[in-house]
Amino acid sequence: MTVAIVFQTSISLFQYSRSKKALEKLKDLSQPNCKVIRNSQIVEIKSHDLVMGDSLVVEEGTLITADGTIVHSNDFSVNESILTGESFAIFKDRTQKEPFIFSGTTVASGLAVATITAIGNNTQLGKIGSSLAGIKEERTPLEQQIAHFVKKMAITGAVVFGVVWAINFWNTQQVLQSLLQSLTLAMSILPEEIPVAFTTFMALGAWRLMKLGIVVKQMKTVETLGSATVICTDKTGTLTENKMSVAKLFLLSSNKIFATSDILSEDENRLIQMAMWASEPLPFDPMEIALHQTYKTTITNDERSEYQLIHEYPLSGKPPMMTHVFENEKGKRIIAAKGAPEALMSVANLNSKEKQQIEEAITHLASEGYRVLGVGIADFPGVVFPLKQQDLSFRFMGIVAFYDPPKQNIRDVLESFYEAGISVKIITGDNAATTESIARQVGFKGYEKSITGNELMALQDDELKSRVMSTNIFTRMFPEAKLKIINALKSNNQIVAMTGDGVNDGPALKAAHIGIAMGKKGTEIAKQAASLILLEDDLSKMVDAVAMAEKFIQISKKLFNTSFPFISLSYSRSLFHWRWAGFILIFFSHSYYFP
């Protein structure tokens, strides 16, 4: 028994040590330094040295380290998917109704100065992290089964102990000897091999999952994974790539919409070129990166190195647009603009028919979940450029449609879950149109029906329990709504797995029976709340993990044989048979065993 206990403890400690080391390597979201304005000078300080009222300077590519209110900005947009699940960057300035920045989000473009209003646990990020402390972890089905088994065996042992002690004392009249002998017999009935066997199997399962690129923080999760009946998955970064891609083009001259996967004509390629020239030469914004990538793959002659940016109009106007002017050594000039289609329409010379065609294209593309960007070109031979870009004479070329593409293998992953009898639900902070479009593309079942976070929070408990079972797409979700979905599914006796990578997924990840975080794109809060971590952010690994866990359950059922009145181990059944036979023999022949 001592050897077994040492062996079992060693396995647990070894697995915990490996998981801890793997998690430490994944802590890549911390940013130790930030820039603030103090004494009219921009200085760089440690993030933990920020104080209320500091003027924080954030710029393209940086991680925002505190909550604040924008007091100045220039072409400033923020990717808040970590908090909201929204895959698109949001443009912000101090004139908006909510001119706020939040800790943990990243700057997609431009620069801003913000007055710090919250730090540490008082930020939106910190509040979500603090809320995890109030969520209690539930026992796994295996733990409940073993607890029930132990209770039954304890009662059985107590009854056996009492009966044998009474009979033995009646014959011998020796209290101490009767107690020792009855205690020995009662203890021999208890299957002490069960903890060792199950710990060994779970440790082996955790080790094999580690080989697949899945960090198991608690070995008991291996068993729970095989019992999962529902998998709730985030959209952004889990089903999709979490990066912009040029999907479709609308060309005004032909009044047609084309997919970029089609063979493009010269005019369509020129639309892509002009959209790229309207972008920054060194892009950071996801849409501009996508435009540069599409330009590189569709154009045979890359002219970017031949042109220099000679004039720039930053993002401005309502709705906004931006214009870049490039020129090569021969004096050839390119003036390209991009922005909201309405902005380009307002500065271009369009007739009523053309405006109607553009509006119809916008409506069609937006209904399919795409984000649209208008593209226009202008001619200006002079040297002194107008103060406003709107004063240039633009021609409306067309529209570029972007979307966050689904991962290539996600359709096969969903099919594998369906074949295993596991229901899949999408819980995302993104809008319904975008989510339903992605769901339709990947073969997701039940994409026709969805519900928003605000609608969900308004439901009564009984109606909520029914809706979460009949609805598979949940959009515009926030942390409280996600947590409510998980609890409602659990109240329907479902074994719930939840995947996510953002801070807003933290409470739901912890409340689920199996929380699954993304190793690369996942936030630290998501990783801490989860019980499994996918090192490569690949949901297909979960298919192998579930299959492995199901095998574990099959073996467990053989070992944990409930057909006998008292549960016994299959591999040591013969041992239990002689134990029970010995007990019966002793019970009826006590005078021979206890003279």
Confidence band of 554 (pLDDT split at 50, 70, 90): low
How many CB atoms are closer than 10 A to CB 331? 7
Confidence check: pLDDT of 293 > 50: yes
More confident residue, 532 or 204: 532
Phi, psi at residue 300, to the nearest 5°?
Answer: -80, -35
Strands 496-500, 230-233: pairing kind: parallel
More confident residue, 323 or 82: 323
Choose the weakest-confidence range: 72-76, 204-208, 227-231, 260-264.
Answer: 204-208
Amino acid at 21: K
Digit-coded pLDDT (tens) for 139-179: 666 667 667 777 777 787 788 778 878 887 888 888 888 88
Digit-coded pLDDT (tens) for 176-185: 888 887 777 7
Confidence check: pLDDT of 589 > 50: no
Check residue 294 and give its pLDDT: 92
Confidence check: pLDDT of 587 > 60: no
- In angstroms, rounded to a whole number, what is the distance separating the alpha carbons of residues 253 and 267? 9
- Residue 166 has which token pair? 């009474």
Within 13 A of 46's CA, how many CA atoms are on the CB side? 2
What's the whole-model pTM score? 0.62
Confidence check: pLDDT of 582 > 50: no
Please give the average per-residue pLDDT across 539-551, as a whole number: 77
Q: State the DSSP string of 368-421.
A: TT-EEEEEEEE----SS--SSGGGS-EEEEEEEEEE-PBPTTHHHHHHHHHHTT
Confidence band of 572 (pLDDT split at 50, 70, 90): very low
In the chain the domains, ranked by start, together with CATH numbers, are: 33-121 (2.70.150.10), 129-191+561-595 (no CATH), 208-241+408-550 (3.40.50.1000), 245-403 (3.40.1110.10)
Choose the weakest-confidence range: 50-54, 181-185, 216-220, 323-327.
Answer: 216-220
Q: Which one, of 89, 39, 23, 34, lies nearest residue 63 by Cα?
A: 34
Check residue 353 and give its pLDDT: 93
Confidence check: pLDDT of 574 > 80: no
Strands 106-118, 371-378: pairing kind: unpaired
56 bridge partner residues: 36, 114
Digit-coded pLDDT (tens) for 97-129: 889 999 878 887 788 999 999 988 788 777 765
Q: How high is the mean pLDDT of the chain? A: 80
Digit-coded pLDDT (tens) for 328-374: 988 899 999 999 899 999 999 899 999 999 999 998 888 777 888 99
- Residue 300's alpha-carbon distances to 250, 269, 294, 295, 296, in angstroms, are 22, 10, 12, 9, 8
- Residue 540's alpha-carbon distances to 247, 411, 413, 421, in angstroms, are 24, 10, 5, 16
Please give the average per-residue pLDDT across 27-37, as a whole number: 66
- In angstroms, rounded to a whole number, what is the distance separating the alpha carbons of residues 362 and 357? 9
In the block, tokens 């801070």 appear at 503
